[in-house]
Amino acid sequence: MEEFWQQVVTGIATGSVYGLLALAIVLIYRSTSVLNFAQGEMAMLTTFVAWSILQWGEYWVMFPLVLVIAAGMGAFIERVIIRPVEGAPVLNIIIVTLGMFAILNNVATWRWGGIPKGFPAPPEIEVTGIRFMGEGALDIGPTVVSYHDLTILVFAVAIMVALYVFFQYTPLGLAMRATAQNPVASRLMGIRVGRMLTVGWALSATVGAVAGLLIAPLILLQPPMMMGVLLFAFAAAVLGGLDSPVGAVVGGLIIGVSENLVGTYTPKEWLGPDMKLTVTLLIIVVVLLIRPTGIFGRRAMRRV
């Protein structure tokens, strides 16, 4: 039984990373209907930048710096690469993001090389005797949780709460939701629609960057590191419903947990851990058969 809980907790932690990256995908999809295939590579690149900064700086100096750089990169990509193809057929935009995928991958290999690097987890912090983050594991009764898994959870929850507050209670967040729903009416309200899209990309890249920083200690830093994560993140986004932020997170958790359980409990004669991708995708197919728009997705009917 301990092993079971162990796998569930680990699954929740990796699932939150999938959820974060899925959230990044959904943030862009909701406002622009663009499926950003380069989302994972953007996160990979910012993680490399983080690694470089760590060569001369503290972790907690690097962290906010990387978030700012990520936001800048997201805004830059929207303005320079995505804006010109806005209004083009969907397939064209997808090809553009796939091209970005390849370019960012090559840039990382060219600048930092292909050899996997270790990446540190956030260092230990002690607040009034209670320890957060760092090395080791915490005994929580039925099982133990590594401090890094806990860190991931804390960050994921904090980001989701922050995004919820931002979209629900600030004028800018409200304007972004309005833009996603009805761009023409938004312009009549005096909202600069283009600027909202830029902010959306910046926000998305920032959330993705956090996902990259959190997953890198678990899977080593190297150019193709986000490919698997991106696949699961896409699956999570589709499972939850592509236009639902809550769905992205829930989808991520479901996939993270099921991936871990399938990897552990599939008998050897059935290929063991190798089955986890297959079974996970099978779950998605079944859910989508029942609810084609995902668990939290809205019905695909749209008034034009």
Partner 1 sequence: MLKVEDIVAAYGPIVALHGVSLEVPEGSIVTVLGANGAGKSTTLRAITGLLRPKSGTIEFEGSRIDRLSAEEIVSLGMSHIPEGRQLFSELTVLENLRLGAYSRFSGTDGGSRLAQREDLSPLGRLQHKLFHAATGGIRDVARGIRGYRQRRQDFEAALNQVFDYFPILAERKKQIAGTLSGGEQQMLAIGRGLMASPRLLLLDEPSMGLAPMVTREIFEIIRAINKSQGVTILVVEQNANLALEIAHYGYVLETGRIALADTSENLRKSEAVQRSYLGQ
d(CA 303, CA 23): 25
If one asks whether residue 33 binds partner 1 (CB under 8 A), the answer comes out as no
Angle (CA) 43-44-50 rounded to 5° is 90
Among 44, 82, 175, 197, binds partner 1 (CB under 8 A): 175
CB 60 within 8 A of CB 66: no
For partner 1, which is the closer residue by CB, 95 or 174?
174
d(CA 10, CA 23): 20
For partner 1, which is the closer residue by CB, 127 or 184?
184
Radius of gyration of the chain (CA): 19
d(CA 57, CA 36): 31
The strand ranges marked E within 136-241 are 137-139, 144-146
For partner 1, which is the closer residue by CB, 32 or 97?
32
If one asks whether residue 184 binds partner 1 (CB under 8 A), the answer comes out as yes
Judged by CB under 8 A, the stretch of 22-30, 37-45, 142-150, 169-177 that binds partner 1 is 169-177
If one asks whether residue 75 binds partner 1 (CB under 8 A), the answer comes out as no
End-to-end CA distance of the chain: 53
Among 187, 270, 274, 292, binds partner 1 (CB under 8 A): 187
Closest separation in Å from C-beta 166 to partner 1 = 14
Closest separation in Å from C-beta 193 to partner 1 = 8
Residues that bind partner 1 (CB under 8 A): 171, 174-175, 177-178, 181-182, 184-192, 303
